Amino acid sequence: MGWSFRIAQVKGIDIKVHVTFFLILILGAVQWGGITGTLDGAIFGVVLMILLFTCVTLHELGHSLVALRFDIPVREITLLPLGGVAQITKNPDKPLHELLIAIAGPLVNVVIAAILFVILGGIGGASVLNGRGLLTSLEQPSPQGLLVWLLAANISLVVFNLIPAFPLDGGRVLRALLAMALGYRRATRIASAIGQIIAFGLGIFGLLEGNFILMLIAVFVFFGAGQENAMAESKTILTTLRVGDAYNRNALTLAVGDRVSKVVDFLLTSYQPDFAVMQGSNLIGIITRSDVLQSLATSTVDLFVTEVMERDMLKVDAEKTLQEVRELMTQQSKRVAAVYNGNAYLGLISAEDISEAFAVLAFQARQREARQGQQTQSGQV
């Protein structure tokens, strides 16, 4: 994610903070400074926010470390003002793995809450842990107040995340449980429908209560659920086609001695955005439209394509499914992959090619379903 910088690294996972995150720190300082009218109050606000986001980070690390256990790469964890995002590069194939990854996050907060509960009990005994004691400490910027706030926040994190609606953890838990009995695609359809119903209810409730944040969350969950369903559909469909059957067979290619001006010609006269640079029958690099544009913008001479091409390529076997290739592209942040049959180079495939293939396959699948529907209808008549 742009505009974010690394503050730590755990097991190879970068933990990054987005610049807008500092708004939250300022907000904490202003709010608590305003309530108490003191500098101590402002410092309390900042410390509270930092500790709060430490809990969020630990939650995301819970998901991430379990994902790593199942050999699913995690690119980074980014902290935004609205929470943390762990970029786990793909959904696990086994429902049990998805269940464990999803539950690990909230479980971390359960553990933190339990520890805080014990500490608070140790400090103030029962007088702190009854309702009135908790409320009093919430109003004062004291160390005890800090612990009570964190306890409340961790409990809220568990409750909120376990709402069974995508993209919240509860939605994933629900999908994983359903998938054990019904298969991935049907489980996703049902889980995402339930998620949208819950989001709708949440939205109505927020509207009646005049709670803007709740309405915002409802919208976020509603679209998240729809997106998850679309992703599951495309995953199922893209697993049916091998990349060897989908790459562009009639692609224009470049040779070692060619210059950028030739690629410009190709770009103007064809719809092809990426070109293989060949040495005989061997692929030695890929040159993309953006490489060309960058070269045109920064260079005054007509460079050789070998000077601007990308040598570090993603190579995939023709036997892989489009879904596998798409996952590899996401993991390695590549838009284009070179397709090979053993050692023989066949051609290139891009993320756009996969999207197009998906559109065609989804259309065919819908037509098949419609035909089957007609047949069963006429069968009943």
3-class secondary-structure state, position 241:
coil
Q: 298-320: b or e for each residue (b if 16 or more CB lie within 10 Å)?
A: eeeeebebbebbeeebbebebeb
**Distance, CA of 21 to CA of 239 (rounded, Å):** 39
CB distance 79 to 6 below 8 Å: no
Q: Which of residues 244-263 bind Zn ion (CB under 5 A)?
A: none
Q: How far is the CB of 160 from Zn ion (least distance, A)?
A: 10
- Find the shortest distance in angstroms from Cβ 105 to Zn ion: 3
| Residue carrying structure tokens 């309702």 | 131
In contact, 108 and 157? CB cutoff 8 Å? no
Options 45-53, 98-106, 272-280, 341-349: segment touching Zn ion (CB under 5 A) = 98-106
Residue (of 3, 16, 20) closest to 75 by Cα position: 16
Q: Where does this chain touch Zn ion (CB under 5 A) — which range of 34-42, 154-162, 232-240, 357-365?
A: 154-162
Q: What mask of x and - would describe binding to Zn ion in positions 164 to 193, judged by CB under 5 A?
A: -----x------------------------
Which residues sit opposite 18 in a β-bridge? 4
Closer CB to Zn ion, residue 28 or residue 105?
A: 105
**Could you tell me the smallest distance in angstroms from the CB atom of residue 216 to Zn ion?**
18
Estimate the crossing angle of helix 39-69 against helix 21-36, to 10 degrees: 140
Measured distance CA(114)–CA(94) in Å, rounded: 30
Considering only residues 100 through 119, tell me which ones interact with Zn ion, judged by CB under 5 A. 105
Q: Find tokens 């730590």 and name the residue.
A: 8
Shortest Cβ 63–Zn ion spacing (Å): 6
Q: How far is the CB of 327 from Zn ion (least distance, A)?
A: 21
End-to-end CA distance of the chain: 56
When the beta carbons of 58 and 134 are compared against Zn ion, the nearer one is 58
Pinpoint the alpha helices (H) of 162-259. Answer: 169-182, 184-209, 212-238
Nearer residue to Zn ion within complex by CB, 56 or 120 = 56
- Six token digits for residue 144: 């005890």
| Three-state DSSP class for residue 270 | coil
- Give the shortest CB-157-to-Zn ion separation in angstroms: 8
Q: Token digits for 342?
A: 């053993």
Shortest Å distance, C-beta 118 to Zn ion: 24
**Residue 44 token pair:** 């309390």
Nearer to Zn ion, 105 or 141 (CB): 105
How many residues at the interface with Zn ion, by CB under 5 A?
A: 3
Of the two residues 161 and 234, which places its CB atom closer to Zn ion in the complex?
161
Q: Which stretch binds Zn ion (CB under 5 A): 30-38, 71-79, 155-163, 284-292?
A: 155-163
Q: Which residue is nearest to Zn ion (CB)?
A: 105
Q: Which of 306, 255, 195, 236 is nearest to 93 (CA)?
A: 236
Q: Which is nearer to Zn ion, 169 or 291 (CB)?
A: 169
Minimal CA–CA distance to 128: which of 149, 110, 111, 107? 149
Q: Which is nearer to Zn ion, 107 or 119 (CB)?
A: 107
Nearer to Zn ion, 169 or 327 (CB): 169
Minimum Å gap between C-beta 222 and Zn ion is: 18
**Closest CB 100 distance from Zn ion, rounded Å:** 13
Nearest residue (CB) to Zn ion, 161 versus 306: 161
98 near Zn ion (CB under 5 A): no
**Stretch of 15-23, 41-49, 163-171, 220-228 contacting Zn ion, by CB under 5 A:** 163-171
328: three-class secondary structure by DSSP: helix
Min separation Cβ 195 and Zn ion, Å: 15
Closest CA to 354 of 248, 225, 233: 248
Nearer to Zn ion, 110 or 328 (CB): 110
CB 303, CB 275: distance < 8 Å = no
Give contact residues for Zn ion (rule: CB under 5 A): 105, 161, 169
